[in-house]
């Protein structure tokens, strides 16, 4: 039998782990690759999980560190990448530093996910999505696409089409990097080698613009535009924009409020009305109301969330069946009672931070800096273990195993030491 045949046989045995095997009962559970992998699939998708498992013995190391089929199934089993922490909106001294929201041994050192940007004047973070970070430098007219896990950093110049907008200053107001993979069963968050698209929204005094860059072609596509309405509307500085399905949505505020939506698959740039009363619009100016655009279901429809102090009302946009839509008001949710918050009269006790990649609403208690993930459909919530000092920040989700992308045994050993694996756990399990 050739070496390749041996590898194919081993891979086949491991693949049986996920679909059942008739030989499973003939081998002790932890010596059967099929059953072992079924067990290891259920490890939490946290940074230390696979690393600690890989330290048990060579066979476990080979399964969780070098079998691509196991790693794909591990991600599929968990369905979405875990929330690792947050990045602030602005760079400090040319550095973008990470703030981990996990407890040890999963807490990621800030230095591990920190990047220093040359010519950082005018730079700010636009979004973290699908495991990549998008940094805008308006003065230098370029983007930086950064993968914190692999440390890959790419610079992409603004679309050349901006130069054809005569006598106007075009400013980028929003953007995101999205994975281009259309592979069936693909789970985002470990797309380090997959092609991507950079989607941007921009404006000037007369128009809104949208454009898409493809890493596969290395070029920008067509520039889409639409006229501003008579009453000038600017992007909201306090409402996070939203990514879902194939759209990026941004709240515009001014004499009137509206949602600017760009669907890059349908190549459609449009303004959408919102169910906002004048009193709520006035209250938002004084910080008493906050808003968030969120997905309503998997079809691409969305909802509009209004947070007034600690009460949430969710409006859902539904189709009338004749190419028109209307808003329907859902039940009010008292978050103060749901989250057992102390009543606060003089200040807003909650602040909307945005959405995680599972669609949960992230909220921060302003008096305690505690962050909650709340599912407004099921009313289930989770309190993150660490406090968050930032006011404006972006959540970062990714599958990450320390050492996997460092390449050498020495680096892996050092990462193991950082995770403080107890020697007693390894005693008797080292396969020499």
The DSSP line for 294-336 is: EE-STTS-EEEEEEETTEEEEEEEEE-SSS-EEEEE---EEHH
Confidence (pTM): 0.81
Same domain, 248 and 370: yes
The pLDDT of residue 216 is 92
Structure tokens at 1: 């039998």
CATH number for the domain harbouring residue 352? 2.120.10
Same domain, 134 and 68: no
The pLDDT of residue 283 is 56
Same domain, 71 and 194: no
Same domain, 383 and 417: no
Q: What is the mean pLDDT of residues 163-173?
A: 77
Q: What is the mean pLDDT of residues 362-366?
A: 86
Whether pLDDT at 410 is above 50: no
Convert the pLDDT of each residue in 134-143 to its tens digit.
Answer: 999 988 899 9
Q: In sequence order, which residues have a C-beta less than 8 Å from that of residue 10 and are 6 or more positions away? A: 33
Q: What is the mean pLDDT of the chain?
A: 78
Same domain, 292 and 414: no
Same domain, 146 and 224: yes
H or E element, residue 8: helix 3-15
* Number of domains into which the chain is organized: 2
More confident residue, 90 or 283: 90
Tell me, rounded to whole angstroms, the distance of Cα 36 from its chain centroid.
Answer: 31
In a domain, 323, yes or no: yes
Range(s) of the domain holding residue 43? 3-77+405-426
In a domain, 37, yes or no: yes
Which range is most confident: 61-70, 263-272, 345-354?
Answer: 263-272
Same domain, 208 and 332: yes
Structure tokens at 226: 């639409």
Q: What is the mean pLDDT of residues 47-60?
A: 85
Percent of the chain with pLDDT over 90: 22
In a domain, 432, yes or no: no
321-325, 362-366, 407-411: segment of lowest average pLDDT: 407-411
In a domain, 431, yes or no: no
Same domain, 88 and 14: no
Whether pLDDT at 223 is above 80: yes
Whether pLDDT at 408 is above 80: no
Residues forming beta bridges with residue 87, ordered by sequence position? 394
More confident residue, 144 or 165: 144
In a domain, 23, yes or no: yes
- Return d(Cα 30, Cα 348) in angstroms, integer: 53
Q: What is the mean pLDDT of residues 260-285?
A: 78
In a domain, 363, yes or no: yes
The pLDDT of residue 421 is 39
Question: Would you place residue 297 in the very low, low, confident or very high pLDDT band (cuts 50, 70, 90)?
Answer: low
Q: Can you give 85-140 as a three-state secondary structure string? A: EEEECECECCEECCEECCCCCCCCCHHHHCEECCCCCCEEEEEEECCEEEEEECCC
Whether pLDDT at 287 is above 70: no
Same domain, 50 and 118: no
The pLDDT of residue 94 is 85
- Taking Cα atoms as reference points, which of 330, 339, 347, 255 lies closest to residue 294? 330
Question: Would you place residue 70 in the very low, low, confident or very high pLDDT band (cuts 50, 70, 90)?
Answer: confident
More confident residue, 50 or 66: 50
In a domain, 266, yes or no: yes
Convert the pLDDT of each residue in 234-247 to its tens digit.
Answer: 888 778 888 877 88
Residue 5, helix vs strand vs coil: helix
In a domain, 221, yes or no: yes
Whether pLDDT at 45 is above 90: no
Question: Would you place residue 185 in the very low, low, confident or very high pLDDT band (cuts 50, 70, 90)?
Answer: low
Same domain, 30 and 51: yes
Question: Would you place residue 285 in the very low, low, confident or very high pLDDT band (cuts 50, 70, 90)?
Answer: low
Same domain, 72 and 133: no
Same domain, 297 and 160: yes
């Amino acid at each position: 039998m050739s070496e390749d045949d041996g590898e194919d046989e081993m891979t086949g045995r491991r693949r049986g782990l996920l679909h059942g095997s008739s030989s499973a009962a003939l081998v002790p559970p932890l010596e059967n690759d099929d059953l072992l992998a079924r067990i290891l699939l259920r490890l939490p998708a946290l940074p230390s999980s696979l690393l600690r498992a890989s330290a048990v013995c060579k066979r476990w190391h080979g399964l969780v560190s070098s079998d691509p089929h196991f790693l794909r199934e591990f991600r599929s089993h968990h369905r979405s990448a875990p929330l690792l922490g947050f990045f602030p909106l602005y760079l400090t001294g040319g550095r973008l530093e990470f703030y981990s929201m996990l407890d040890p041994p999963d807490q990621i050192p800030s230095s591990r996910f920190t990047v220093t940007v040359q010519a950082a004047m005018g730079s700010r973070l636009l979004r973290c999505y699908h495991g990549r970070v998008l940094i805008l430098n308006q003065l230098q007219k370029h983007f930086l696409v950064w993968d914190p896990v692999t440390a890959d950093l790419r610079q992409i110049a603004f679309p050349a089409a901006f130069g054809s907008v005569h006598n106007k200053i075009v400013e980028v107001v929003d953007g995101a990097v999205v994975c281009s993979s259309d592979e069936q069963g693909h789970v985002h968050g470990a797309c380090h080698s997959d092609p991507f698209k950079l989607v941007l929204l921009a404006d000037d005094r007369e128009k809104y613009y949208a454009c898409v860059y493809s890493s596969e072609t290395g070029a920008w596509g067509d520039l889409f535009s639409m006229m501003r309405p008579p009453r000038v509307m600017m992007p909201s500085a306090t409402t996070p924009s939203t990514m879902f399905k194939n759209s990026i949505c941004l709240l515009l505020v001014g004499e009137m409020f509206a949602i600017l939506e760009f669907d890059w698959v349908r190549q459609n740039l449009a303004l959408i009305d919102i169910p906002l009363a004048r009193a709520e619009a006035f209250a938002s100016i004084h910080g008493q109301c906050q808003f968030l655009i969120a997905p309503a279901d998997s079809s691409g429809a969305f909802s509009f969330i209004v947070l007034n102090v600690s009460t949430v009302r969710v409006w859902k946009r539904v189709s009338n069946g004749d190419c028109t839509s209307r808003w329907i008001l859902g039940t009010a949710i008292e978050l103060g009672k749901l989250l057992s918050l102390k009543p606060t009269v003089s200040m807003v006790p909650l602040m909307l931070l945005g959405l995680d990649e599972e669609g949960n609403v992230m909220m921060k208690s302003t008096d305690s800096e505690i962050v909650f993930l709340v599912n407004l459909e099921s009313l289930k919530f989770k309190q993150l273990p660490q406090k968050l000092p930032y006011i404006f920040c972006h959540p970062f989700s990714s599958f990450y195993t320390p050492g996997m992308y460092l390449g050498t045994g020495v680096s892996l050993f050092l990462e193991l030491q950082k995770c403080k694996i107890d020697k007693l756990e390894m005693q008797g399990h080292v396969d020499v």
